[in-house]
Amino acid sequence: QYNVSFQNVHAASRHDRLYSRPFIESFEETPMLVAVLTYMGYGILTIFGYLRDFLRHWKIERCHIAREREEQQDFVPLYQDFENFYTRNLYMRIRDNWNRPICSVPGEKMDLMERVSHDFNWTFKYTGRVVPDVINLGSYNYLGFAENQGPCADAAAQITMTYGAGVASTRQEIGNLDRHEEMEKLVAKFLGLESAMAFGMGFATNSMNIPALVGKGCLILSDELNHASLVLGARLSGSTIRVFKHNNMQSLEKLLREAIVHGQPRTHRPWKKILIVVEGIYSMEGSIVRLPEVIALKKRYRAYLYLDEAHSIGALGPRGRGVVDYFGLDPRDVDVLMGTFTKSFGAAGGYIAGKRLIDYLRSHSHSAVYATSMSPPVVEQIITSMKCIMGEDGTTIGCDRVRQLAENTVYFRKRLREMGFIIYGNNDSPVIPMMLYMPAKIGAFGREMLKRNIGVVVVGFPATPIIESRARFCISAAHTRDMLNRVRRQFHGLIFFQKSYFPLCSYLLIILVNSCS
């Protein structure tokens, strides 16, 4: 074994006066030896992949994946070659760690349908058995409202008896229910803004509304780690896109200055709009946006700000109002406030809120004009859970859950660090990435956790940088201290997955065995 000295990189700010509380985020550079071994692992897998492709070409080994028909061999390829190569030779080895079917409510615990593969994860067969009471560390159930009993479930069931399950029309036609109107008014009140508009899909809330706000002649300044929905929306808009380093205000300010000074390419005319696009909590890094500094920059350079609060709404702030509440800022300083109902509210869909904005989107957003209205029970789930958070249900259930989530987050992060694991992100973020680095550990960690009745999400390239594979834990207010301690105890048996690394020969042996399977 070998030891590597790690360097803690704490994000310090030059603008401490903008923050009313300490803002500390911890990241660690990948040690050189770990990086070299990780690249070696991917290199070995790639070499064996090409070897197996050679065997498949000569029909020595069977290929199960989709490929061009023989009569289309001379056509322009329909499938991307490298994407196909990665899928069949790398992803397929650890495919059993994803798409696991559950057969219960995805609460703090869940039941999994057991499945096996007899052809190295190309196909799966269900055994008919159920793996019960798996601790759920993968769902975005931050406040525990994804449940089948309690006030939210009862209200959703009751509304289904009255309105049915579907609307079968768009909002602009005959699909605009009174419950939709009430929900949007409640969302606006919850956020402290003039008006809000809801959409049936969180991904489409970004991808279909950004093109309605900006277009040709506009400039989008996007964080390099923004979600795929934001990236897609920016590309569909036809705007010029420039990317700044993650949460790096110096990089953002440099782009803003250049945009003001130089204007549009060739013509040097001023940009019609400059839109800064950021997230509240970044779901792969566990980091929180430096919102006070972003707002200060957008005011100084007169840009617009688009804030995606998909993971932060409900999960941050003393009142659960998201990252704006977390920093104690005025929500009116954010021009476009976006969020989703899929996480903290245990429902589906998304929203956009702002001032003098919603009336425009109602007639110009593709997601508003052409999409079917939200399902009535989903709407009722949103209304009931939001009233719980606001305390309008006459109880303290919502406030208690917001507080419990914050306590669970701080406790679990602190304990993992004490055990020596490398944890990314902000101390207050309920998204907790634990670094695994090497490709062989991605599948092994997920499988070993499931053997111990713990469901986790493991992530690797291309969702993360190639040398920064990780496990991602999502903490919930529904998790008890006993559950978190049980998970922590199980980690003791898996400590070799990070700090106490495999000897080099053992690691290479695992890669070779996986490559030959």
DSSP codes, 67-134: ---GGGTTSPPSS-HHHHHHHHHTGGGGGGGSS--B-S--SSEEEEEEEE-SSTTSS-EEEEEEEEEE
Coil vs helix vs strand at 27: strand
Asked if residues 453 and 133 have their Cβ atoms less than 8 Å apart, the reply is: yes
Among residues 368, 390, 412, the one where a domain terminates is 390
| Structure-block tokens of residue 367 | 């997601």
Sheet hosting strand 8-10, strand order edge to edge: 8-10, 25-28, 425-426
Residue 398's region, left for phi above 0, alpha for psi from -120 to 50, else beta, is alpha
366/381 Cα distance (integer angstroms): 25
| Structure-block tokens of residue 489 | 């105890």
Q: Are residues 129 and 235 in the same domain?
A: no
Among residues 358, 390, 422, the one where a domain terminates is 390
Residue 294, in any domain of the structure: yes
Question: Which pLDDT tens digit goes with each residue over 441-478?
Answer: 999 999 999 999 999 999 998 888 889 999 999 999 99
394/384 Cα distance (integer angstroms): 12
Among residues 374, 390, 406, the one where a domain terminates is 390
Nearest C-alpha neighbor of 289 from the set 2, 6, 13 = 13
Asked if residues 433 and 284 have their Cβ atoms less than 8 Å apart, the reply is: yes
Predicted pLDDT at 66? 60
Number of domains in the chain: 2
Question: Which pLDDT tens digit goes with each residue over 289-339?
Answer: 999 999 999 999 999 999 999 999 999 999 999 999 999 999 999 999 999
Q: Are residues 363 and 451 in the same domain?
A: no
414 has pLDDT over 50: yes
Q: Are residues 357 and 484 in the same domain?
A: no
Look at strands 304-308 and 350-354 and give their pairing: unpaired
Give me the chain's average pLDDT, please: 89
| Residue 10, burial from CB neighbour count under 10 angstroms (0-12, 13-18, 19+) | exposed
Q: Are residues 215 and 355 in the same domain?
A: yes
Predicted pLDDT at 258? 97
- What CATH number is given to the structural domain containing 251? 3.40.640.10
Query: Averaged over 153-180, what is the pLDDT?
Result: 94
Q: What letter represents residue 245's amino acid?
A: K
* Domain with 303 in it: 151-390
Q: Are residues 444 and 512 in the same domain?
A: yes
Q: Are residues 332 and 200 in the same domain?
A: yes
| Structure-block tokens of residue 225 | 């780690």
The DSSP H or E segment spanning 350 is strand 350-354
CA angle 380, 385, 391 (to 5 degrees): 125
2 has pLDDT over 60: no
